[in-house]
Structure formats: structure tokens, C-alpha cells
């Protein structure tokens, strides 16, 4: 890739970005778009323009807003994970800034004057190897330094600098996150999941005992002073179906009433009652008055639901339960203690948030979970491995020189300079990005099949899989794939030269990743910021689908940040930038821009958008731990007599990762007693409300007072919460 | 090795064994030897001959006694570990018996008529390979079956049979042990370690607070209802030194008084007061009256001790503590819960038995423990690896043919048939056994350096290291070493033939191990049973050293079974026998004999001897888990087209080991709540006694009522044990 196409690429990206920012500024000032840009303010009943002045809506305005938002604000608006995600972004940013301050002024001059890439004589013994052209960008990397030159010392010491900066920043971030989580956990707000544990693998009870009695007597015996009540998980698929049907009818009535009210114009004061057909998709069958028909249906379904609720609670008890305790410490303790003598019985764990529970996964037993997990891992391994093949092919073929060489008839098209420049700049990157868009849904589905009990854990699992996928496929395979293809003939002749080849060609991939980061940065964040896609969808929905106020609200209700792909993508960029930071220091400014803007936008969105994905960001740091290692693996490839100087970094990195893991991870996985114990004596929570929040909506009786009637899968209170 | 020397070896061993049994029968009938043979009966105040008749002391008699002893008897006499050890022996025995029932009648005829070893034509391309002689023993193994013969099917199916027998027996043993431990744990006897936890990595308290206050306030806050009292670990080396000095003087007084009493004969009714010199080793210096001098010394030392006790408790508090709870469940819970937000503070674990505590290891912090462990592992790795070199050399050189070849001047000696036979039979085995005797002490020392808090855990750790050592060195290296040496020249010429060579030579090592097992069995157990060495030592001590009754008691006080070498040795034999069971089925009867007799002798000793090494035998089964794997690794070496038939055994073995580990191990490592909870409400233990048992002897005040005066490192009672 020559300088022209690189500059074209970056410039085009930048123009698109500026355009998108302008679009955002313009669109966000229009009151009709407010729900898309300021949903959280609306949810809290505030007018986004009130008390701020229109000036704050300018690009400068929102940047000021984003920077001034404090961490507690973010936690309050969007939860701990959002805050942890911001810490992750700002950590990478700090690492890059500290690295850049030293690396850019030192390495760029050293590399630029190295001169190794100016003269490369064609190998006289091997006529197939042609003289290569090198762009000015490549001349700014380590590739331009001659072998065995003393200039390489600068690069070696840079690796140490980057590594120690990484250790320092990561250690501080770990401490920060650890405190953040502890602070969030020790707030006095009552969260139901803090008082409950999930019990699985309940043994088969004796025939004259229900599972519920069995659970009750077991936990009452083991936790006589702290056991509050238990709720056995039931198979409520059928009840849920009826419940959803009723809800559907209710929605239809609400919509029909809105349509009916709108139809009452002056010319037609009675209005027209909406009707629909009851056959297939509302297209065939008898025409009925919607409101009347649906009300009748609801009346018919309600007793059915109640009957089904009773049957479910009586007869469809499953071998899993939510056990509620009367204090946070008791629940935290119970979730960490081994209960039964064999591990495949009475396994306990912290209860998921009520709204996050994946009910079908709860009753799966230990062995089923293990088998499902193994099968899913094998499938994911296959996906990771076989996706590599087409990606490597694309990366190798889409270099225009290669295309021309292999397919000479394309020459007519690609020789035209304008087309050539655009194609060269974007073709490989776009192919890659499109390819990657297909995967997250599949990984999410697979993660749910593992038997994970909560949605948020499934997101975390999917995110981990996605990270391995993109690191392996995008990062490693592009680098190696293009290298191998370029030099295929040489390798076939001299297999032993492969290591030399890798060392020589690695710096060449730097330009690709430079462009990749720039594209991700300008276009990706531009779209993100302008929210063009959600805006269009919102307006379409509002025009054609929404009948009631609730419908409109649902149309602009913000989703989460999309952690399952967002975090791995950021991790990939971080990995790429850190790896190439020494090889091609020019990548650092792009990385800094990416994470700086990413941090601003995420903060802006998190302040404005609601997200309720639970804790998972701590796994991100695990990935970051691995980063320093890459340096060690990539660098010694460069021929240099002093390369052993880098060897100590490998054990240091491993020890650092081990110590961090040992010190901080237990508290990420389990609730430390000292964090939850402090509020236990000060308050007496509403245990009934905690308990009720775990009843699935389809099993909730219409009136809450009837709750005690549904006691078959639920146990009576046996002890009170400690009073003040 | 030819048939004659093998038979000589086995016969000699057998004669020695019979002799030792006869010696045992004769010696154990003599009343003077009773303390050596029946110490437990004496300890319990019983006369070993009373109510039994002398008939029971015949060989048949003690076998009947040993068999009739029930498991609860063993647990009562020697603890759970002893019982677990017996289960281990009987499990291996069952595996071998079930295997032998099928393998011996099937494989021996198949192998004997195979005929591959009768005619081996010398390789015409390789003149250095000579025609080998094969003994009838080798003809009874798989080595005698021709390549690609259908007879090999019998051997393949045998591998399956042995594997499934192993799974079946191991699964039953796991269940048995699991129940055994649960039963033992849920007895109502009050054991102090069940009420306490060990706390380490206590953070530095604020300057105006002692560590003791810090621990108290922390645990009182987190466990307000169950915390009883804490005892901070102190550095009591100095106090202990004074205490030992006082005890030494007390012992001297007791001895001197006994000597004095004996000296009062009729001719000298006053007796002679014993004297000694106070200089170096009692050889120089002033002569003093022992009783007077020692009494004075004690009088001088006592106030010193008291002062040192106070200083120790005040000023030498260390950052570790024993925290006592008022119920078993509370202690079990506390030991399993994460307390602090970072893992390197306030780490908790189950408390060791008071008498097992290794005090110097308690205050070591997490990072120190990790570093020590890593260093010890590296050292052990080096030991395992470099001990191999001399052993391999010995195994290779001590084959007489080799010796003769390499050192022709020996020919004169070894050509004499009698010497030759004996040397051939025993030389390699004796070299090996002597070699192995040097190691256990070193491994025990290293294990203690790891920072393990209790003696019994250190024994377990040493035992594990020893097992890896002997498996690697004895089993693998002998097999490979002798093979390599034998064929060194061939390998140098044709390096690619090494796999073929291994496959061909492996069956050859069978004879060595056959002899090895026989020797271990006859001579080892003969010595064990006859207790000749302890008997001699006892009589020597009684004659020359013992002055008082207590001295005599100390002389015959039985030690433990020596688990740290005994268990790994048994494991080695089990590994060897199981590995060769299919290759050379003749080894099975020897294995059966070894474990049958081992079980009898262990039961006999455990019934009679007291052992108080705590729980560790569950690690043994871990090793056994690995056994089926060996089959998979060794067998495919044999050239046979159907060998892939064995491939499924590898995953099956891994899955079996994984399932066993998952199901049973958590309860071996942690105390399950359901096991300890049942007695908590029924009793109110003597908390003061539990607490006191953790005070090291040198810090115990002379009168126990003074206990509360020493409250500096010990906290006041804050809560009562639950009353009935």
C-alpha cells in the first residue's frame, strides 16, 4: 500500500466522521428526535433543553457534559458495569498516552533515518523474489532499521517502557474496579439477588415428599437462624404461553382504543370501532370487533391461567430452587459453602438478578451442564478455526498487486487510478468487517445452551468467545495469512527461511492495521455518535407501527451498549495497537484517538441511555493481562543479537498476571463478607418484596394478597429479618 | 535374566520370609517383647495374653484377628486415615483379583503358545544386533506373541477388562471413603479443629491497635453471633527454649531419682546421690548433685519463663491467628467464605489439629508462601530429574552381561555360577532400594519449607513428591534406561528405530519388575511383620539408656505407619503391577500376594499400634486415577493393526477421573455443611477447653486458672455456645 492510498483512506474516513458529527449536531437539536438522543432524561421526566441552553447541544457542549459527568453519576444512571467499562477504556487510553509520550519522539526519528528499506538488493540466488516498494509509512517502523543496528536498542527499551506502563496502569485500574464494585455492593439499596442463592442439583426426594418440602427442611436444618423462604423452580412454559396470550390481547385492546379515540373526528363523533380477522395472520376468517373480542378472550383465558398456575406450582416442580435468606451475609455465606457430601448434589451459587434469569437452564443438572459446555466449546473451537480459512484467503487475495498477478483480466479496471486507490484502501477492511457482523448472534445462542443461569453471564460468555474469535482470526490470521501468501514461492523453495520471512514481513502488516483502526475509529464512532440507524428506525416505527404512547416509548427505549461485541472489539483494537506500538509507533496516535473518543461517546451514551447488563467487565481486564505477552512473542523474531534482553519480560508478565488474578479475582467471582456485612444490622428489608420479585410474571397471582395461597412451590416464612 | 536366577531370587526371598515369620511367631510369644508387638493393648491397660489363649499368637491366630477386625475398630484405634489406607490396599487387591481371574487363565496359554521368541533371526542388515536368549518367564508375556497375530486381540480385550474393573472398584472405594469420612466427622466427640479457623495475611493494624484487637473487632463484626474468641499467633521461639530447658531439667531429676532409689541397696541404705558435671557434654566442669542442681535451675528459670511469656504475648504478636467459633457449622462456614475484598488479606482456612501445627509457618504471608512453593517445586523437579541419571546408569550397568562386556576383568569373579546367580538376582534391586532410602527426609524438609501450616499436610505433600519421584525414576527410567543402554549402538546407527526398539524391549523389563515386587513383598513385609529392627532398638535402649518407667514407655511408644514413604511405595507397586498385568500376566499373583499381605499386616499393626497422622490418604486415590492411563500409553507401542481399538480408553479414563474428582474431591478439601450441622444443636461443648488446646505448651501458665491473665494475644469471650 503506498502513501497516497493510505492518506486517501484516512482522509475519506475523516470526512465521513466530520459529516456524521455535523449530522448529529443538527439532528439532536430537533425536538422530534429527542427520544433517540436523550431517552434517559425523558425517562426521568426532564426536558432535555430546559435549564441548559441550546448551546450545550453543540459538539463542544456534549464533550463538556461527558467529561464533567462523575463516576457516581454513571453508576447511578447505568450501573457498575458501565463504570467498569469506562475504566477499561480510560486504562487503555492512559497506557497509550504514556507510551506515546516516550515512543513517538524517540522511535520515529530513529526509524525514519534507519534506511534499511531504501536499498534492498534483489537476492541474486532467487530470481522469483522481486524488489519491493516501501511506502513512507513503512519507513517509520522498525522494518526500516537495518539488522544488527544499534538503533534496535531504542526499540527494545521501548518494549520495556510499554510493558511497565501497562503493569502500572492495570494495577491501578484493578484497584479502582475492586473499590468500585465494593462501593456499589455496599449501598443500602435492597437488591433481591443479594439476599438469595440459587440451588441446583437437588436430589430426588422420597415419594411422599414434594421437592419444596425437601428444600425447606434441608435448608432450615442447615441455616436455622437465617433461612427465610424458598421458591422451587417450576416448568412454567405452558402458563407463560397463556400469560403471553393475555398480554397480547391487552396490548391489542389498548391499540384498538387508541385507534378508536383517534377516529372520533368532528365529522364522525362516534368513531369507527376497529375490527380484525381472527384467521391466519389476520388475513382470513371472521371479522370481529377487536376490543370486544379481546376482552372476551381475556375473560376466557384468565381462569385457564389460574388453573394452569395451580397445576404448575403443584405438579411441575423442578429440581432447582431460589432460597431467600434474611440477611446479605447469610446469603453470601450460603452461596460459598459446600453443602452436600458429594459435589453433584445441592450445588449452590449466588442468585442471578430476577429479570436476568434464564429459567430453562436452572433445572439442568451438573453433568448435563458439563456436557453441554464441552460440546459448545468444541463447536466454538471449530468456528474459530474454520472461519480463519476464508478470512485468510480474503486478506491475501485482496491485495491489488496479488489480484492483478493472479487475475490479469482485472488489470483494465484496477489500473484506473481512482478506482485503484479506493479499492486498495477499503477492500480488505470492508470484507473483514462484513464478515464479522454475522457472528455475535450465533455465539450468544451457543452461550445460552451451556446451561448458564443468567442472561448477563451468557453475555459475558459470548463476549469471551467473540474476543478469542477476533483475536485469532483478524489479528493473527491476517498477519500470518498475508505474509504466507506473499512469500509462498520462497517458502516452497527454502522452507527453513520461514522464520526470517515472518520477522521481515510482520512490520508490513502494520499499515493494514493502521488503516483498520482508523476506519473503525472514524466511521464506527461517527455512526455510533450520530445514532443514524436508531433514528431512522424510530421514525419509521413511529410513523407506521406505533398506535399508543406505550408503543412510542418502546420504539425509543434504549437497548444496552451491546457489550457482547463492543468489549471484544475494543479489546481487539487495544491488542493491535499495543502490539504494533513499538513496531510501528505511528499507530499510537490512532489508538489514542480511538479510545479517547470511545470513552467520550460511551460516557455520553451511558449518561443518557439506560443499560442493565450485569457485572461482566472484569473479564476484559483478563484479556488486557495477556497483552504484554504479545510483545515478547512478536519481538524476538527480529534478528538482533540483543534480543535475549527481552526474555525477562515473559516471566514478569506471567507473574504480574498471576498476582493480579490471585489478588483481585476471588472478589469478582464471590461476594466478600466484609463488603456485605456492614449494612446487615442497620436495616430490616422488606423480605416479602424480595421474595416476590423472584416469582416469574406468569405465575404471579392477579392480586398480590393471594400470594400465600400459592405456597406449594414456595415455603412459609420461618424466621424474621434481624430487627434493628 | 534366565529362569534359574529368577527362581533363585524368588525362592531365596521366600525362605527369608518364612524365617522372618517364624521369628515373629517365636519373639511375639515372649512376654518381655510385648511392648514392641502389642503397644496399643498395653496403652489401654490390657494384658495381651489375657482372654485370648496363647493359640491366637500363632501365625494363623493373628491372621484371624486381623481379618475379624471391623472398620469401626480400626477407626477407633488409629483414626480415619488408617481406615482410608486400608480401603486403598483392599481396592488395589480387588482390582488385581478381578483382573487375575480373567487374565491368568486366558493370557498365559495364549502367550505361551505364541512362539515369537523362539526364533528370532539376526537382522541381516545390522550385524551389531545379536540373537537374544529368552527365558520361559518372558515367553509367558506379550513379547512372545508374533506381530500382527490375531492372538493380540486377547491382550487388547484384557486391557479393557482391567480398565473397567479399575473404574468399578475405584468408584466403589470413593463412595466408601466419602461415607467413612462423613461418619467420622459427624461423631459427637468434640475435636478442637472443628470449631476453629486459621486466619493468615492479617493486614497491618493502625498504630494504636494491637493485632489481637484488630482480629477481634474484624471477626466480631463479620460473625456477630458465632464468634467466640481469637488467639493471635506469637513468635514464641524464646519462650519455647526456656520451656524445653525446664522440661529437660525435670527429666533429669526424674532419672536421677530413679538411679538414686536403685542405689539404695541393703549394703548402702542411704544410696548414692547421682552427680554430673555442668561443663561441655557433662565431661568437664564442676561436679554437682544432679537433683539439687536441677531443682535450683528450674526455680531460676520459672520466673524467666513467666516474664518471657508476658513479653511474647505482648510484643511478639504475629499476623496470623486461630479464631474459635461456638459451633461446628459456623467454623466450617467461616473457613470457606471469602472475607476480604482482596485475596491477599484475611485469608481463612480450616484450622489444623492443635498438636499438628507448624508454628513458624503460620505467619508467612501469601506471597512468601507462593514463592516458597515455587522454589520448592523447582528443587523437587531437579531432584526427580537428576536422580534419574545415576539410577539409569546403575540399571543399565548392573546387568551382568553388560558388566562383563564393558569390564572384562570381572569375568573371573562373575563366571562362578553361585556368585553369578546371586548377583544377577539381587544386584540391581538392592542398588535401587538403598538409593531410595535416602530421600524421604529431604522431601519432608522441603515440604515443611513450603509454608504448609500443619504437620499432616506436610506429610501429604512429601508423600506426593515421593510418589512422583519413584514413578519417574524407578518405573519409567528403569524401563527406558535399560532399553536404551542395551540398544545404544543400534540407535546411534538408526535413530528412527527408537520406537520399534521401545515396543520390543518393554516386555523385557517385566522380569525385572517381577523380581522387584517379589523382593519388596517377601523381605519388606517379613521385616515389617517381625518388627526385628524396632525390637533390637527397644532392647538396646531398655538395657543402656532407660532409667525410669517413662523412658521405657518412650522406647516402645509406636510411631506412625510412615505414610510419607509407605503410601507412595504401595502406589508404585500398584502402578507397576497394573501396567504389566496385561504385558506379563505372571506379575498379577505377586501383586495379589503383596497387597493381600500388606492389607493383613497393616490391619494387624493399625489395630495394635497407635498412629495419629491426620487425613491425607485421599490423595492416594488420585494417583490410582491415573493408572488406567498407563495402559493407553504403553500399549499402542506394540505393533498391531488393531491398536486403535484402545484409543477410546484414553478419553474414558480422563472422563472417569474428571467425574470422580468433581464429585468427591470438594468434600475431601472442605467440610460439607450437612455433615457438621447435625450435632450443633444437640450439645454445648466446653469452649474453654477447645480454646486452651490451641495454646502452645510453652505459653501455658502453670495453673490454668491464670489463663485470663494472659489475655493480650487472646480475646475475651463475646458470645456463648448455643445452649440446648
Neighbouring C-beta atoms of residue B256, cutoff 10 Å? 22
| SS3 category, B538 | helix
Express as a percent the part of chain A with pLDDT over 70. Answer: 63
What pLDDT digit, counting tens, does each position of B432-455 carry?
666 667 788 888 899 999 989 988
What pLDDT digit, counting tens, does each position of B526-535 carry?
777 677 777 7
DSSP letters for A567-583:
HHHHHHHHHHHHHHHHH
CB A201 within 8 A of CB A319: yes
Distance CA B65, CA B52 (A): 10
Distance CA A461, CA A724 (A): 41
What pLDDT digit, counting tens, does each position of B201-242 carry?
899 888 888 888 899 989 988 888 888 888 888 888 888 888
Distance CA B144, CA B113 (A): 8
User: Measured between CA atoms, how close is A591 to chain B, in angstroms?
Assistant: 32
- Element (DSSP H or E) covering residue B322: strand B317-325
What pLDDT digit, counting tens, does each position of A547-557 carry?
666 666 666 55
Query: Cell numbers 526424674 correspond to what residue?
Result: B254
DSSP letters for B249-301:
HHHHHHHHHHHHHHH--SS-TT----EEE-SGGGTSS-EEEHHHHHHHHHHHH
Q: Strand B347-350 to strand B275-277: parallel, antiparallel, or no bridges (unpaired)? A: unpaired
B370 touches chain A (CB under 8 A): yes
CB contact under 8 A, A333 and B338: no
Dmax of chain B from CA atoms? Answer: 95
CB A698 within 8 A of CB A248: no
- Element (DSSP H or E) covering residue A602: helix A587-608
CB contact under 8 A, A677 and B337: no
A123 touches chain B (CB under 8 A): no
pLDDT of residue B282: 64
pLDDT of residue A340: 87
CB A346 within 8 A of CB A202: yes
How buried is B182 (Cβ within 10 angstroms: 0-12 exposed, 13-18 middle, 19+ buried)? middle
A552 is written with which cell numbers?
A: 412510542
Q: pLDDT band for B413, please (50, 70, 90 cuts).
A: low
Q: Which residue in chain A has the smallest CA separation from B669?
A: A338
What pLDDT digit, counting tens, does each position of A184-209 carry?
777 777 788 888 999 998 998 888 88
B182 touches chain A (CB under 8 A): yes
| SS3 category, B398 | coil
Rounded to two decimals, the ipTM of the complex is 0.75
Q: pLDDT band for B608, please (50, 70, 90 cuts).
A: low
B681 touches chain A (CB under 8 A): yes
What pLDDT digit, counting tens, does each position of A93-148 carry?
998 999 888 888 888 777 777 665 554 444 444 444 444 445 566 666 666 666 66
A667 is written with which cell numbers?
A: 472478589
Candidate from A182, A221, A341 with C-beta closest to B667: A341
CB B614 within 8 A of CB B453: no
B263 is written with which cell numbers?
A: 542405689
* pLDDT surpassing 90 at residue A356: no
The domain limits of chain B are 3-188+368-647, 239-308
> Which residues of B fall within a CB distance of 8 Å from A178?
341-342
A203 touches chain B (CB under 8 A): no
* pLDDT surpassing 70 at residue A612: no
First vs last C-alpha separation in chain A: 72
> Which residues of B fall within a CB distance of 8 Å from A678?
221
What pLDDT digit, counting tens, does each position of B324-342 carry?
998 888 888 899 999 888 8
The torsion angle over the Cα atoms of residues B276, B277, B281 and B285, rounded to 10 degrees, is: 180
* pLDDT surpassing 80 at residue B2: no
Select the residue from A330, A337, A346, A618 to test the B interface by mutation, using most B Cβ atoms within 10 A. A337
B214 is written with which cell numbers?
A: 484488630
Distance CA A270, CA A261 (A): 9
DSSP E strands, A115-223: 196-200
CB contact under 8 A, B342 and A673: no
- Element (DSSP H or E) covering residue B328: helix B328-336
Q: pLDDT band for B376, please (50, 70, 90 cuts).
A: very high
Distance CA A368, CA A452 (A): 11
Candidate from B178, B221, B340 with C-beta closest to A342: B178
Query: Cell numbers 462523575 correspond to what residue?
Result: A70
A505 is written with which cell numbers?
A: 514481513
A346 touches chain B (CB under 8 A): yes
Residue among A348, A350, A297 at smallest CA distance from A320: A348
Rounded to 5 degrees, φ, ψ at A672 are -70, 140
Query: Cell numbers 507397576 correspond to what residue?
Result: B576
* pLDDT surpassing 90 at residue B374: yes
pLDDT of residue B82: 79
User: Measured between CA atoms, how close is A83 to chain B, in angstroms?
Assistant: 18
Q: pLDDT band for A307, please (50, 70, 90 cuts).
A: confident
> Which residues of B fall within a CB distance of 8 Å from A179?
341
The torsion angle over the Cα atoms of residues B42, B46, B50 and B51, rounded to 10 degrees, is: -130
CB contact under 8 A, B673 and A337: yes
Rounded to 5 degrees, φ, ψ at B46 are -100, 150
pLDDT of residue A139: 63
Distance CA B197, CA B192 (A): 10
Residue among B331, B253, B347, B307 at smallest CA distance from B550: B253
Strand partners, A322: A198, A231
DSSP letters for B598-655:
HHHHHHHHHHHS-----S-THHHHHHHHHHHHHHHHHGGGS--TTGGGGTTHHHHHHH
More confident residue, A423 or A120: A423
Select the residue from B179, B199, B201, B341 to test the A interface by mutation, using most A Cβ atoms within 10 A. B341
* pLDDT surpassing 90 at residue B373: yes
Range list of H helices, B30-79? 34-37, 39-43, 59-68, 71-78
Phi-psi region of B148 (alpha: psi -120 to 50; beta: other; left: phi over 0): left
Rounded to 5 degrees, φ, ψ at B317 are -70, 140
pLDDT of residue B633: 38
CB B353 within 8 A of CB B398: no
pLDDT of residue A121: 46
CB B468 within 8 A of CB B385: no
DSSP E strands, A274-328: 275-277, 287-289, 317-325
Instruction: Mention every residue, 6+ apart, whose C-beta is less than 8 A from residue B718.
Output: B216, B220, B227, B228, B229
Amino acid at each position: 500500500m503506498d502513501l497516497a492510498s493510505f492518506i486517501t483512506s484516512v482522509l475519506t474516513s475523516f470526512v465521513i466522521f466530520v459529516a456524521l458529527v455535523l449530522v448529529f449536531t443538527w439532528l439532536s437539536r430537533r425536538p422530534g428526535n429527542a427520544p433517540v438522543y436523550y431517552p434517559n432524561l425523558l425517562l426521568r421526566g426532564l426536558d432535555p433543553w430546559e435549564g441548559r441552553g441550546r448551546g450545550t447541544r453543540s459538539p463542544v457542549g456534549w464533550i463538556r457534559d461527558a467529561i464533567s459527568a462523575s463516576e457516581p453519576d454513571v453508576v447511578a444512571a447505568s450501573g457498575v458495569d458501565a463504570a467498569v467499562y469506562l475504566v477499561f477504556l480510560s486504562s487503555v487510553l492512559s497506557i497509550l498516552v504514556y507510551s506515546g509520550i516516550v515512543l513517538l519522539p524517540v522511535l520515529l526519528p530513529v526509524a525514519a533515518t534507519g534506511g534499511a528499506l531504501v536499498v534492498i538488493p534483489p537476492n541474486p540466488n532467487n530470481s522469483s523474489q522481486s524488489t519491493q516498494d516501501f511506502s513512507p509509512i513503512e519507513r517509520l517502523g522498525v522494518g526500516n532499521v537495518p539488522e544488527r543496528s544499534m538503533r534496535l536498542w531504542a526499540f527494545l527499551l521501548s518494549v520495556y517502557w510499554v510493558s511497565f506502563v501497562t503493569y502500572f496502569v492495570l494495577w491501578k485500574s484493578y484497584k479502582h474496579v475492586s473499590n468500585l464494585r465494593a462501593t456499589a455492593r455496599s449501598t443500602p439499596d435492597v437488591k433481591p439477588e443479594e439476599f438469595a442463592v440459587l440451588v441446583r442439583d437437588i436430589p430426588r426426594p422420597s415419594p411422599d415428599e414434594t421437592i419444596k418440602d425437601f428444600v425447606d427442611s434441608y435448608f432450615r436444618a442447615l441455616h436455622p437462624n437465617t433461612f427465610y423462604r424458598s421458591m422451587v423452580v417450576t416448568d412454567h412454559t405452558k402458563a407463560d404461553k397463556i400469560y403471553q396470550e393475555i398480554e397480547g390481547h391487552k396490548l391489542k385492546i389498548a391499540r384498538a382504543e387508541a385507534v378508536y379515540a383517534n377516529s372520533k373526528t368532528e365529522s364522525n363523533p362516534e368513531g369507527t370501532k376497529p375490527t380484525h380477522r381472527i384467521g391466519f395472520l389476520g388475513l382470513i376468517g371472521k371479522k370481529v370487533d377487536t376490543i370486544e373480542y379481546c376482552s372476551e378472550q381475556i375473560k376466557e383465558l384468565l381462569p385457564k391461567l389460574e388453573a394452569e398456575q395451580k397445576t404448575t406450582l403443584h405438579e411441575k416442580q423442578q429440581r432447582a430452587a431460589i432460597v431467600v435468606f434474611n440477611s446479605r451475609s447469610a446469603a453470601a455465606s450460603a452461596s460459598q459453602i459446600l453443602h452436600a457430601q458429594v459435589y453433584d448434589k445441592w450445588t449452590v451459587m449466588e442468585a442471578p438478578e430476577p429479570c436476568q434469569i434464564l429459567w430453562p437452564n436452572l433445572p439442568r443438572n451438573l453433568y448435563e451442564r458439563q456436557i453441554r459446555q464441552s460440546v459448545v466449546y468444541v463447536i466454538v473451537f471449530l468456528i474459530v478455526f474454520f472461519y480463519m480459512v476464508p478470512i485468510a484467503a480474503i486478506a491475501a487475495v485482496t491485495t491489488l498487486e496479488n489480484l492483478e498477478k493472479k487475475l490479469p483480466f482485472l488489470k483494465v479496471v484496477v489500473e484506473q487510478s481512482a478506482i485503484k486507490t479506493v479499492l486498495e484502501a477499503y477492500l480488505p477492511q470492508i470484507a473483514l468487517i462484513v464478515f464479522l457482523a454475522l457472528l455475535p448472534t450465533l455465539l450468544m445462542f451457543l452461550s445460552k445452551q451451556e446451561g448458564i443461569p443468567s442472561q448477563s453471564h451468557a453475555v459475558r460468555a459470548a463476549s469471551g468467545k467473540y474476543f478469542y474469535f477476533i483475536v485469532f482470526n483478524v489479528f493473527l490470521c491476517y498477519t500470518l495469512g498475508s505474509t504466507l501468501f506473499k512469500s509462498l514461492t520462497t517458502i516452497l523453495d527454502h522452507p527453513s527461511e520461514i522464520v526470517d520471512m515472518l520477522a521481515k514481513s510482520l512490520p508490513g502488516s502494520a499499515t493494514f492495521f493502521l488503516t483498520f483502526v482508523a476506519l473503525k475509529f472514524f466511521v464506527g464512532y461517527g455512526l455510533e455518535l450520530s445514532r443514524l440507524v436508531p433514528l431512522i428506525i424510530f421514525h419509521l416505527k413511529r410513523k407506521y407501527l406505533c398506535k399508543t404512547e406505550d408503543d412510542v416509548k418502546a420504539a425509543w427505549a434504549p437497548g444496552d451498549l451491546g457489550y457482547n461485541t463492543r468489549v471484544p472489539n475494543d479489546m481487539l483494537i487495544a491488542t493491535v495497537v499495543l502490539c504494533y506500538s513499538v513496531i510501528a509507533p505511528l499507530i499510537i496516535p490512532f489508538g489514542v484517538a480511538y479510545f479517547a473518543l470511545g470513552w467520550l461517546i460511551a460516557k455520553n451514551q451511558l449518561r443518557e441511555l439506560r443499560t442493565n447488563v450485569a457485572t461482566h467487565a472484569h473479564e476484559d481486564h483478563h484479556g488486557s493481562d495477556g497483552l504484554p505477552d504479545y510483545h515478547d512473542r512478536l519481538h524476538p523474531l527480529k534478528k538482533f543479537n540483543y534480543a535475549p534482553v527481552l526474555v525477562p519480560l515473559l516471566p514478569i508478565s506471567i507473574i504480574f498476571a498471576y498476582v493480579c488474578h490471585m489478588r483481585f479475582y476471588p472478589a469478582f467471582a464471590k461476594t466478600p463478607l466484609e463488603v456485605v456485612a456492614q449494612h446487615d444490622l442497620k436495616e430490616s428489608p422488606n423480605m416479602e418484596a424480595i421474595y416476590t420479585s423472584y416469582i416469574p410474571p406468569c405465575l404471579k397471582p392477579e392480586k398480590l394478597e393471594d400470594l400465600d395461597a400459592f405456597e406449594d412451590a414456595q415455603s412459609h416464612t420461618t424466621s424474621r429479618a434481624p430487627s434493628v
